[in-house]
Chain A
Amino acid sequence: MEYEPVIGLEVHAQLRTQTKIFCGCSTAFGSPPNTHTCPVCLGMPGVLPVLNRKVVEYAVKMALATHCTINHVSEWARKNYFYPDLPKGYQISQYDRPIAERGYLDLEIDGAGKRVGITRIHMEEDAGKLIHDESAPVSYVDLNRAGVPLIEIVSEPDMRNPEEGAAYLRRLHEILVYLEICDGNMEEGNFRCDANVSLRPRGEQTFGTRTELKNMNSFRNVQRALEYEIRRQQYVLESGGTVVQETRLWDDARGATSPMRGKEEAHDYRYFPDPDLLPVIVPGEWIDEIRKTLPELPLEKRERFIREYDLPAYDAGVLTASRAIADYFEAVATRCSKPKAASNWVMGDILGHIKEDKLEMEDCPVSADDLGELVRLIDDGTISGKMAKDVFEDMWLSGKKPETIIGEKGLAQITDTGALETVVDEVLAANPAQVEQFRGGKEKVFGFFVGQVMKKTKGQANPGLVNEILKRKLSDL
């Protein structure tokens, strides 16, 4: 029997607010344990949460970017369970009435469009972290992360293969980073994904029993875990077994999923409205205000790049992968008025160097303005494309302007026809044997003459001009 996978994804994104969701502690990552804590995020007796409004603003941004309906009144709820990283013994989250519902995300997979529904977006607080001592039966609790704001984005079970799952995640990630509401660093855990997977006979309408996959900390691992789990379920079903509804952990090293211990599974979270917090009121005017601050989103930008700069879809995709790259490209293109050339330089030289030097786009040592000027200098013939590569290397290392480097090294191309004619004459006079060969029909010798001219001009001669003069002189002879 042929089975069809059904996949839904739950993404937890840490919001990059300065302070935590219910207290004034810093959200900075990587500080010594328990240094960003206070009585509120430690869950001391008698303290109360006070909502950070920025969290609501960011959640609304994401809701608008994913076409969700925003609830003007939403409600906080307590999710009750015991764990040492959860100081209050409950997580403040949203349950019955989340901040936003019923949105979607449009994907493009191998040129085909695919729409994935978004069930809901809700706000909640993160838990702390346990650090297990390898050498002793001791665990330590670090509560720096406790109370860092999260949004959970729950998709509809609309994806049918691991590629769609990965594409959905990449799009979601891209939007969060574009909106500048999430750092999107999967290793630091500020973008986390759980997956629900089930199989059903192709053509069947009802869903099969699903498993929930956790512990996948990269896009690649999500895809691998989904692939593994689909194969596993298929094997179970084909050998006459039934899939057990359970949570399974992805083991990166083994490349397999395995069930979480049963005890931790039997949770009844006993959700109820949190009496310490008032409902979240988001009036229409506030939504309108937030809407005005939304940047152009990646998909819109991509389409505009194709339209406005006449770029291939591939280029537009690479150049809009982040806001920083897109902004950089646009500045280069504006300066040189040669969008395709600008695109080649940004995609090739800039991104290549960035990757090689392990830099962020923001730290690029060559300014967009200078790169634009370099491209312009090629275009007007001041330097050759080959020379430009050397100039660029110098710009990358020194941060100097292209004109400065060209001036310092005397690299400007010789485009003075008179000067070049003199050189050509010299070369022809110095190599009579080769001139004879050429006249005898051996046209390959032409390249030899070009090489000699370039050698004499230290490569600064404009190659087009050299060709032209050489041809004329040789036929005149």
Chain B
Amino acid sequence: MEPYYLTVHELEGLLRAGETTSLSITEAMFRRIDDVEERIHSYITLMKETALEAASASDQRRREGAARGPLDGIPVAVKDLICTMGAPTTCGSRFLERFVPPYDATTVEKLRDAGAVILGKTNMDEFAMGSSTETSYFGVTRNPWDLERVPGGSSGGSASAVAAGECIASLGSDTGGSIRQPAAFCGVVGLKPTYGRVSRYGLVAFASSLDQIGPLARDVEDCAILLTVIAGHDKRDSTSLSAPVPDYRDFVGRSIAGWTVGIPREYFIEGIDPAVAAAVNRAVAAMKDLGAECREISLPHTRYGIAAYYVIAPAEASSNLARYDGIRYGFRSPGERELLDLYRNTRAGGFGPEVKRRIMIGTYSLSSGYYEAYYKKASQVRTLMKQDFDEAFAACDVILAPATPTPPFRLGEKTDDPLQMYLSDVFAAPANLAGIPGLSLPCGFTVNGLPLGVQLLAGHFEEGKLIQAAAALEKALSAEQRRPAL
């Protein structure tokens, strides 16, 4: 049996029972990648040599009875804006095409310490700016379910790799939906933790107050396993919080009978695809069957979310991306003799159009005379949205909502219309603005066989609840084991 569609916990069992080895799983993954990568393009960089070494080391540990836990020997992929020492970290940008960090991100360090085998670095929208993985300098990634469609973004490669069996699980990052939206588009589970739950050290910043690293995997239990490994306080990230990290796997399989599930009225806007609405309704019905009470709630400031998001995120990005100036590393426009020309031409040549657009929007909204009207106003909206959620979670355990307004769209469909593209994040961005955890879970298919997802949200540091509800719902939906036809 080929292992590439198995879950972390299934492989963990096989490894523990001695029925397979990390090396043979890892080799199988690379065979699979050889088969399908040309059509999907999940990866920017493959790390075959170090992966095989890590797999052998894992097998050695296991033979010596020193296996490190559920991730030991499991092949995973890492989004290409999470720094890996010794392996290129491009952020999907020409600017960092040849950038090899001399340090690991804390999450990568934790993966390595847990014995995980890193297969490679996944494709993404340039600097995580996009919702379709079409802005990558290294070419588009295709949706394994329909090669004419996008995998979502910005963590498109991390989602497609899981969906296509090119890795067992992966890490992505979510600033305004960049884990949850591609997870929904690719029919996998994606979890964005509470802001501060996972260290951002080594995550190349897009919007520092919104960015979080999180797992993408085949099921909720796998997400729980990964989250347990990567969560926790990091003295290198002042915004990471020291709340204790439980074993999130313990929440899988627990009943949610008697729970209150909030259904936010404002998420069923005009323009939402009927197939998406139907998926949410299926989930609501399943929740009721599980003994939970579903109640309509109101998150009144939802409609301002996407506007606030597209002020705050570009503002922070305009500052975060200022370091790419061609002086110390990365792309540099050759032959320049004047400092201003060096800056201008380096940044003109190193960044793609979407990144430039956001830098301009952000620079504008922070500039003197506009700061109050844009950045400050958006920050105030953000506070109101937080209050919305605080009030909601005072009355319910979790919130159930659509993950995206539509199923995966066609390649090129929205590339000429940034606003339409931005609206793809309309249901995802509020969780980032409020800093709360969110998870997107597969919930059936369209008539054309495209995956659909639903989203669950919980209060700050309530990842346990989120996983408990999601695992119960996953089981109740008893999702048919469909695989993309590749």
Q: Does the CB pair A277–B96 fall under 8 Å?
A: no
Task: Say yes or no for A49: interface residue by CB 8 A criterion.
Answer: yes
Q: Does the CB pair A84–B327 fall under 8 Å?
A: yes
Q: Does the CB pair B83–A87 fall under 8 Å?
A: no
Q: Does the CB pair A50–B322 fall under 8 Å?
A: no
In Å, the complex CA distance between A263 and B343 comes to: 15
Say how far B141's CB is from chain A's closest CB, in angstroms.
21
Please tell me the size bucket of the interface on A: 20 to 34
Task: Say yes or no for B337: interface residue by CB 8 A criterion.
Answer: yes
Number of A-B contacts (CB under 8 A): 105
Task: Say yes or no for A42: interface residue by CB 8 A criterion.
Answer: yes
Q: Does the CB pair A278–B371 fall under 8 Å?
A: no
Enumerate chain B residues within 8 angstroms of A89, measured Cβ to Cβ: 319, 321-325
Most chain B CB within a 10 A radius of its CB, from A47, A84, A88, A137: A47
In Å, the complex CA distance between A78 and B319 comes to: 8
Task: Say yes or no for B202: interface residue by CB 8 A criterion.
Answer: yes
**Residue in chain A with minimal CB distance to B103:** A39
Binds A, one of B184-192, B232-240, B459-467: B232-240
**Residue in chain B with minimal CB distance to A76:** B238
Q: Does the CB pair B239–A43 fall under 8 Å?
A: no
In Å, the complex CA distance between A43 and B328 comes to: 9
Task: Say yes or no for B223: interface residue by CB 8 A criterion.
Answer: no
**Residue in chain A with minimal CB distance to B376:** A272
Task: Say yes or no for B484: interface residue by CB 8 A criterion.
Answer: no
Task: Say yes or no for A367: interface residue by CB 8 A criterion.
Answer: no
Enumerate chain B residues within 8 angstroms of A268, measured Cβ to Cβ: 367-368
Q: Does the CB pair A46–B208 fall under 8 Å?
A: no
Q: Does the CB pair A270–B323 fall under 8 Å?
A: no
Q: Does the CB pair A275–B238 fall under 8 Å?
A: no
Q: Does the CB pair A39–B102 fall under 8 Å?
A: yes
**Residue in chain B with minimal CB distance to A267:** B368
Specify which of A39, A44, A137, A272 is in contact with B319 (CB 8 Å cutoff).
A272
In Å, the complex CA distance between A137 and B342 comes to: 14
Say how far B401's CB is from chain A's closest CB, in angstroms.
26
Enumerate chain B residues within 8 angstroms of A49, measured Cβ to Cβ: 238
Q: Does the CB pair B371–A47 fall under 8 Å?
A: no
* A46-B343 contact given A82-B325, A87-B323, A272-B319, CB 8 Å threshold: no
In Å, the complex CA distance between A51 and B235 comes to: 10
Task: Say yes or no for A228: interface residue by CB 8 A criterion.
Answer: no
In Å, the complex CA distance between A268 and B363 comes to: 10
Say how far B316's CB is from chain A's closest CB, in angstroms.
6
Q: Does the CB pair B208–A276 fall under 8 Å?
A: yes
In Å, the complex CA distance between A48 and B200 comes to: 8
Most chain B CB within a 10 A radius of its CB, from A46, A90, A272, A277: A46
In Å, the complex CA distance between A148 and B238 comes to: 19
Most chain A CB within a 10 A radius of its CB, from B91, B238, B321: B238
Task: Say yes or no for B1: interface residue by CB 8 A criterion.
Answer: no
Enumerate chain B residues within 8 angstroms of A50, measured Cβ to Cβ: 235-238
**Residue in chain A with minimal CB distance to B362:** A270
* A46-B202 contact given A275-B239, A276-B239, A278-B238, CB 8 Å threshold: yes
In Å, the complex CA distance between A278 and B83 comes to: 23
Task: Say yes or no for B201: interface residue by CB 8 A criterion.
Answer: yes
Q: Does the CB pair B239–A47 fall under 8 Å?
A: no
Interface residues of B (CB under 8 A from A): 81-83, 89, 91, 96, 99, 101-103, 105, 200-205, 207-209, 235-239, 315-316, 318-319, 321-325, 327-329, 337, 339-340, 343, 363, 366-368, 371, 375
